[in-house]
A and B are shown apart, each in its own frame.
Chain A
């Protein structure tokens, strides 16, 4: 069973993976098997949000997700987030507001906020969006600009 072939849809394309070990994490599959290095490894224990991707549209921590557990699912990473209109608004808002310093946490923030806006719809209060990003850490502490980008992204999708 462990050696079976896994079929995921990654950024809209079918990815057929053979011989994926049972203990392999989605984070490692994306970065090292599929070469999608936009998804970052931060703490590897679910505490920082840097590795956030969408699984069937819902934000998930790819460091805490076994690849076998997303067999048959659609995975969206930062590389394709702008192909979604909401994702594009979020990316543009981060760019316009200069909401990054070193940039390491940015993919996680952009993907997590895209997931929140899609999940909670246009009427989600700003406070709920900011609250929903508390699991994403910016070690540069650039939160003021990030909060500006969240506000801008919310207004752009409203």
Chain B
């Protein structure tokens, strides 16, 4: 027992495991703001607590809430916020109908990490390096927020405000993420290490079967992943010519704010954009059973 280590001042940290969303909101409300942390998978939260980036004295765990769901309704998919990423990855429908989402989920951490990590947790955290937010942007995903007064929906684009800043209000929890339609899509990233690493840059693309237009999003940039409307327009409708792909890459490289850090130089990141965009478009156009 002498080597037992615990996070933070032991006596002060408490954990609640409510069984209903209402009880969860009550447990959150009862603690002073800034002193409560909501626990989904915990893959980031535990490090935050240990390194004292979080001042939480109360943890509210969502593991007993009935939100580990995956529901296809026609072409649209609703993903419960506390569903482990691994379940999303192993769903055959996700792999064939939303290949970009599959690729992004598969890129997160490692298999054991994905058994605990959740889409809701990734969105609530909104790290600039998130590999999931770019693909959610390219798929026009919506966040469904649960509150005592009812449910509201807003696009991921509006939900993510800045680095680790979201539009979630006090008294709200992410209940689900809705993707409106199956889309040919792809996610491409570059890293120093294949697994358990942060992408130097990441590009997600999707082609909507309803309006035949592309969506392009770039992640791994400050302060948050963004959609690139002009680059998407340059891709035209349907399968683009090689020159259009190149032009879209050039537009994207000019439009995106980039930094140099220990993972990559600014110039390297700028060059990556066109390369990853071209690879993603080519992959999205590969014939796949059941897409569109």
Contacts and interface: CB of A to CB of B under 8 A. Distances in A.
- Do A and B actually bind? yes
B46 A66 contact: yes
B6 A49 contact: no
Interface in A113-153: 115-116, 119, 132-136
Given A68-B61, A116-B111, A135 B195 contact: yes
Contacts of B4: 24, 28, 32-33
A58 interface: yes
Given A66-B42, A116-B111, A31 B17 contact: no
A24 B15 CA distance: 11
Contact of A23 (B49, B63, B115, B194): B49
B48 to A, nearest CB: 11
Given A28-B3, A66-B59, A135-B110, 15 more contacts: A2-B14, A25-B6, A28-B4, A32-B4, A33-B1, A45-B47, A46-B43, A46-B109, A59-B111, A61-B116, A64-B43, A64-B116, A66-B42, A115-B111, A135-B109
Q: In terms of DSSP, what is the predominant structure of the interface of chain B?
A: loop
Interface string B103-123: 000000111110110000000
Interface centre among A33, A46, A52, A71 (most CB of B within 10 A): A46
Interface string A82-114: 000000000000000000000000000000100
Interface of B: 1-8, 10, 13-17, 39, 42-43, 46-47, 49, 59, 61, 63, 86, 90, 109-113, 115-116, 194-196
Contact of B194 (A60, A69, A132, A134): A134
A25 B86 CA distance: 21
Interface residues of A, number: 38
B7 A52 contact: no
B10 to A, nearest CB: 5
Choose among A21, A32, A52, A112 the residue with the greatest number of B CB atoms under 10 Å from its CB.
A21
A28 B7 CA distance: 11
Contact of A65 (B15, B42, B196): B42
A155 to B, nearest CB: 21
A156 interface: no
A145 to B, nearest CB: 20
Nearest to B41: A64
Given A23-B7, A69-B39, A135 B111 contact: yes
Contacts of A68: 15, 17, 61
